[in-house]
């Protein structure tokens, strides 16, 4: 249990540090410990602002399940961002099944299955003053387990943005 708590705090600090590098004062906070399996960070935020985690033993090239965190610096409205995102997905896969749910906190939850991408996903898009923050759980359809998907549905739905008012201190503690 202690390991999970330490991993969770490292996760929040890593996201806070990386979001700060993109000029952000926020970070996504979520409770990965609700899923008792061992998640391994594959990379910190890459050049596109995406951090990825896979189950222990998987890789970014050969994953069965993956969690991603993304920060897109933008000033467009969440609605415009979502319309663009959905159009891109639908051009890539005309048979994609997308369901969208608008939340009351300037966020949108999207679930979809794309057979051409071999992926089922639940994503939460949260708008902040400096951009859109995205937390996503991805699973290959043949490995989808309803119980696990329900856990991740809860994790994604309860994710929040936290203000990173002391990002310099957090960045220093992570770097030391």
Q: Where are the domains of the chain?
A: 2-175
pLDDT tens by residue, 100-145? 999 887 899 999 999 889 999 999 999 998 899 999 999 999 999 9
Dihedral Cα 32, 37, 40, 46, nearest 10 deg: -40
pLDDT tens by residue, 54-102? 999 998 888 999 999 999 999 999 999 999 999 999 999 999 999 999 9
CA 106 to chain centre: 16
Average pLDDT over the chain reads 81
Architecture of domain 2-175: 3-Layer(aba) Sandwich (3.40)
Question: What is the secondary structure of 27-95 as a DSSP string?
Answer: EEE--GGGS-S-EEEEESS-TTSEEEEEETT--SSS-SEEEEEEEEE--S-HHHHHHHHHHHHHHH-TT
pLDDT tens by residue, 26-57? 888 999 999 999 998 886 655 556 889 999 99
Q: What is the pTM of this model?
A: 0.78
């Amino acid at each position: 249990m202690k390991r999970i708590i330490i991993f969770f705090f490292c996760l929040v600090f890593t996201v806070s540090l990386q979001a700060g590098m993109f000029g952000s004062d926020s970070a996504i906070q979520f409770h990965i410990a609700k899923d008792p399996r061992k998640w391994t960070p594959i990379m910190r935020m890459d050049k596109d602002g995406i951090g990825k985690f896979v189950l222990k033993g998987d890789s970014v090239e050969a994953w069965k399940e993956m969690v991603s965190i993304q920060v897109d610096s933008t000033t467009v409205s969440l609605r415009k961002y979502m319309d663009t995102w959905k159009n891109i997905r639908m051009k890539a896969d005309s048979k994609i099944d997308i369901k969208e749910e608008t939340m009351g906190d300037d966020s949108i939850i999207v679930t979809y299955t794309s057979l051409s991408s071999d992926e089922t996903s639940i994503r939460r898009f949260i708008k902040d003053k400096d951009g859109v923050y995205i937390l996503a759980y991805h699973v290959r359809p043949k490995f989808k387990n309803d119980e696990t998907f329900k856990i991740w549905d809860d994790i994604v739905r309860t994710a929040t943005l936290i203000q990173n008012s002391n990002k310099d201190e957090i960045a220093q503690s992570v770097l030391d």
